[in-house]
């Protein structure tokens, strides 16, 4: 719902759609992509072959269930690079300098201040809004910043997903960024927010579960010392 996909110059139409879908749900088979777009598997394979020739997708044999192995596709490093990032290595270098000069807490404060500015603006706009309206506003904001955000509802719990990390290189070294983001979501949504998956841990998306209960918690979602590897 309300997802805003990034602009992929030179890859409009079916090939662009396939790149975006792989970003959301890789690895995927040609059949799965065909079902998603309502076209034939052969049509999808033709586009995948073109994208593979451009070096944007790669494939591998994967065992699923008890049948014969199948081919699954995912974005290559060049394919991932088509999606927006914010300053990449330059941002990481700046944050490293700040951490060396003023400590890692200064990094968290920097992003907390950034998110606080967004929070103040949204609070004015969403003074009497429902939770859904607040989530929709947050999705728009995050998508405009390149995070490919979307939301859905499952069994009374709102799910907010970010299919692209616009600051991935920095977030892998400075999880303080992600902790500040989680605090921002709690503040704006005035709800309990729990991270279910995390891109720096190898997941396809950063996904949060948002309780409809108006219960705000302040526990950080990522430790200050570095990302912890484990089950997402």
Question: Across residues 73-85, what is the average pLDDT?
Answer: 86
pLDDT for residue 81: 82
Structure confidence at residue 12 as a pLDDT band (50, 70, 90): confident
The string of pLDDT tens digits covering residues 35-48 is 999 999 999 999 99
Please report where in the chains the tokens 């992003």 appear, as a residue: 111
pLDDT for residue 28: 93
Q: How many CB atoms lie within 10 A of CB 19?
A: 23
| 3-class DSSP assignment, residue 10 | coil
Question: Across residues 47-73, what is the average pLDDT?
Answer: 90
Structure tokens at 158: 């709102």
Say which DSSP state 202 is in: T
Rounded distance between C-alpha atoms, residue 59 and residue 79, angstroms: 13
Structure confidence at residue 5 as a pLDDT band (50, 70, 90): very low
Query: Residue 204 in contact with residue 27, Cβ under 8 Å?
Result: no
pTM of the predicted structure, to 2 decimals: 0.70
Structure tokens at 81: 């690079």
Rounded distance between C-alpha atoms, residue 89 and residue 129, angstroms: 38
Backbone angles phi, psi at 215, to 5 degrees: -125, 115
pLDDT for residue 163: 93
Tell me how far CA of residue 200 lies from CA of 50, 96, 175, 204, in angstroms: 29, 18, 9, 9
* CATH class held by domain 13-80: mainly alpha
């Amino acid at each position: 719902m309300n997802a805003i996909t990034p602009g992929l110059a030179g890859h409009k139409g079916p090939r662009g759609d396939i790149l975006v879908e792989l970003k959301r749900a890789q690895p995927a088979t040609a059949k799965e992509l065909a079902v998603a777009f309502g076209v034939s598997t052969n049509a999808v394979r033709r586009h995948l072959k073109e994208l593979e020739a451009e070096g944007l997708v790669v494939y591998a044999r994967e065992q699923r269930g008890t049948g014969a192995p199948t081919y699954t596709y995912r974005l290559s490093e060049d394919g991932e690079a088509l999606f927006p990032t914010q300053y990449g290595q330059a941002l990481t270098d700046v944050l490293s300098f700040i951490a060396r000069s003023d400590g890692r807490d200064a990094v968290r404060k920097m992003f907390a201040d950034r998110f606080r500015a967004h929070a103040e603006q949204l609070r004015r706009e969403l003074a009497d809004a429902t939770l859904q309206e607040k989530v929709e506003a947050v999705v728009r904001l995050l998508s405009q910043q390149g995070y490919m955000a979307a939301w859905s509802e499952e069994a009374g719990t709102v799910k907010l997903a970010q299919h692209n990390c616009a600051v991935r290189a920095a977030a892998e070294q400075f999880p303080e960024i992600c902790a500040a983001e989680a605090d921002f979501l709690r503040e704006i949504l005035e709800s309990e927010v729990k991270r279910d998956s995390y891109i720096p841990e190898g997941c396809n998306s950063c996904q949060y579960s948002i309780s409809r209960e108006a219960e705000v918690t302040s526990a950080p979602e990522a430790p200050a010392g570095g990302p912890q590897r484990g089950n997402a």
